[in-house]
Amino acid sequence: DCAALTSIEIPASVETIEATAFKGCSSLESVTFKEGSLLKTIGGGYYSSYYYGAFANLKKLMTVDMSACTYITSIGECAFYGDSKLRLFKIGTEIPASCGSSAFYGINKYSVLKVPSGCADSYKAANEWKRFSSITGLDE
């Protein structure tokens, strides 16, 4: 519920972002993970019309740069649910992380996903990652 937070850089040592970690951060526009990130999991969930993804319902979130995240294996249910302004999402894992249902539901219909070179087809075939309108290599 931090209304003043507009951007954040997550330290490389963080391995898990728990559900609701950034809930209510009404001004958050960008999230970046530091080089050498050890992130493995982003939490989330849903219960009786309550979405509690780690980054859910952030109406100003436009950019998520996880290009330094090469260990992530799981993105929870509704993790980025309702982030209607999300335009750019970068991720560094060659194998798409498994995503819970509605992990990216309601993102901007023009959202771009940037993935490691040569991995775009894997992401295009993976559940939930298909919600991005464009999936290309990080170097493109």
Cα 115 to Cα 140: distance, rounded to the nearest angstrom: 10
Strand order in the sheet with 63-66: 7-10, 30-33, 63-66, 88-91, 112-115, 134-137
pLDDT, tens digit, for every residue of 23-63?
A: 889 999 999 999 999 999 999 998 877 888 999 999 999 99
Reduced to 3 states (helix: H, G, I; strand: E, B; else coil), residue 47 is: strand
pTM across the whole model: 0.94
**How confident is the prediction along the chain (140 residues), in pLDDT tens digits per residue?**
788 999 999 999 999 999 999 988 999 999 999 999 999 999 999 887 788 899 999 999 999 999 999 999 999 999 999 999 999 999 999 999 999 999 999 999 999 999 999 999 999 999 999 999 999 999 98
